[in-house]
Structure 1
Amino acid sequence: MTLPHRSSLDHIPPYKQGQGPAAGAAASHKLSSNENPYPPLASVTAAVAECLGGINEYPNGGAPELTARLAEQFSVSAENICLGAGSVEVAAQLIHATTDPGDEVMFAWRSFEAYPMLARVAGAVPLEVPLDAEGRHDLPAMAAAITDRTRLVFICNPNNPTGTIVTTAEVEAFMREVPSTVLVVIDEAYLHFNREPGSAQGIEFFRSYPNVAVLHTFSKAYGLAGLRVGYAIAPAEVAANLRKTAIPFAVTTLAQHAAVASLDAEDELQVRIDALIQARAELSARFTAAGIEFPPSYANFIWLPTGEDTGAVDAILRERGIWGRAFAGEGIRISIGNPEANEAILAAVTAAVPGVRVQLG
């Protein structure tokens, strides 16, 4: 007996979560998912605890308090804010809200690995445009690749997994080439770790262009990856359609209260963000001093373009307790961790790289 199934799913690989060491493994560090290495703030934990007595009830689907706070923070209307269970769920909303079967969703590649999966699940066609030689978005090539079936373009800034950025001038030039009927989504999951003055800022492009949306998450800098809260800032007509495609009650009461508490504690969270940025700078400097070549990172991870040697390098890193995210034949993304983890990263990478240094460029 064959049960009914959608045949197109046969060609869609399931999303693979970043791996980590076995429970109880000594001196090992899971650095494969770009998680914030610090535990939740006490004030955030307290806000979640206050809600536990009401988890027998459905959450408020409109999340009015969180929506109002985000609208105020970015000086936009509440109707421009749309929430979801992490920014990946909002990315899915964006695809479902803008494409019909056979329409195209464009993005750089390699970029966030969920993009092609989400596009195919929606019945859309993923259109991958290779990164340039420096691991950056090739925006001129992306503009040239737009067709009359392109409906949505993702720009991941900083890019996951390479950590590179696009500049304001580059995005301005790109937007001049993009038809007004194409929605451009600037995915800023790692916004808080990017302090490059010339980097494109999604909210500024949202204010300047009627066909731009911005994607943010509470998973990274805010450290709420386990509660799943993300949001889009989108044109009102797009946001209205996002709400039609959103999973009802996806953003739980616990997640809503944790997000609001995190917004209340941004000064305290900034201390942690500053520490991670400093650790990234120190680790990058020490890699460079050791002769390791890699693209500058503006996120909370470092990308090692190990090419054909990725499997061999990843095996050595794991032997030394470092579990990064390996992309076969391309490279390894290693999240910035706590001080102990970062020292372990340095030791492991410098041990793994000498035999493959020629490929790290």
Structure 2
Amino acid sequence: MCPPPVTRSLDQHRAAVNAALAPIPELSVLVGDAAGATLVEPLVAPAPLPSFDVAAWDGYAVRAADVAEPVVLPVAHEVSFADRGPRRHLPATAARIASGQAVPAGADAVVPLAATDRGAARVGLAGGIVPGSGVLPAGHGAAEGRVLVPAGRRLGGREVALAASIGRARLTVRPVPRVVVVATGSELIDPGTSRAGVPEATAHLIAIAARTAGARASRVGPVPDDPATLRTALEDQLVRADLVIVTGGLSDGESDTVVAVLSELGEVDDVSLAFAPGSRHAFAMVGEDARRVPTIALPGNPAAAALAFEAYVRPALRQMCGFTEVARPAVRARLDRGWSSPAGVTQAVPVRLGLDSGGVVTAAPTCEPGRVSLAALGDADGIAWVEPGVTAVQAGDVLRCTVWDD
């Protein structure tokens, strides 16, 4: 017989989950393998980028003073990317140059090909060239010491390209956490399955939410409520997961076995959470002592699970990724109508955000706040948060709302 659930406020439960979801240990990886990981140390320009003047277009490098009028000049050489630095420019000559190549020292302009006869040994050049024409100065990309990518940022194509451009072969990162979302419930079926049942949606939603938060997430299930089957399914995932999220199986019915199975695998907190919608949650550390895997159990109702994920799972997961920014952007929004809120409970209400004619941010609930549906989530682009001490929300009240844009 499992003991009764412990009662926790949202802040208390969030703190417990945050404490367990520590950032993944840092690792040095090849720059080409760093995509998706989180940068541990800022990427700083070691020198001006580029470190010398470069041609803005294909053409001929010259001294502007030599091309004040139309002129024919000998072509002294062709600039090569193999040159380690700018070559010395000979006065009264031209040097063939491609876009991005180092302008020879002493040259101060690049005549575009369209203003020449494209000669090989000698080249005819249009006049009127001024110093600096066709030249991108050293440091135009970034000054020495500039932070190119701050610590805590997820590395995408642009960030990896910046690292490669300054010659970094390896980067120190926090690897992407591996999250497995397990759907439980004997009544659940995968969409399109021929047998009768309830199409499973919650684990799909949570797996995608975990990916959007920065993790590498996969979905497993549906898994029947049979304790032995559920235990086997969870044990199979422990070897490949940094975090397990279970959806469903948290009520007091005989078929709701998640807490009992988790207690067999490790230490579990069965929690009556002061949160609406969906008050039953659980948190466990399971597996062998050498590798304990945090496991979060969310309600099976997709709307309740999604709002709980936003309330306390997403910030902790982003912390696990190593991000410095873990919270969603928040605004203060004026409500277009009121409702009753349960006493002592943090209530999450999906809302549609907008602006009135005076530029004030407004929020309109997409459903009756006590009856949140999956369709209401689809209509929302924000979440209004009602604090535990508030039991009556009035039209015109201003609440903190987080922007829900994915």
Q: Normalising by structure 1, report the TM-score.
A: 0.29
Higher strand share: 2
Structure number, greater radius of gyration: 2
Larger RCO: Structure 1 or Structure 2 (Cα < 8 Å, ≥ 6 residues apart)?
1
Higher helix share: 1
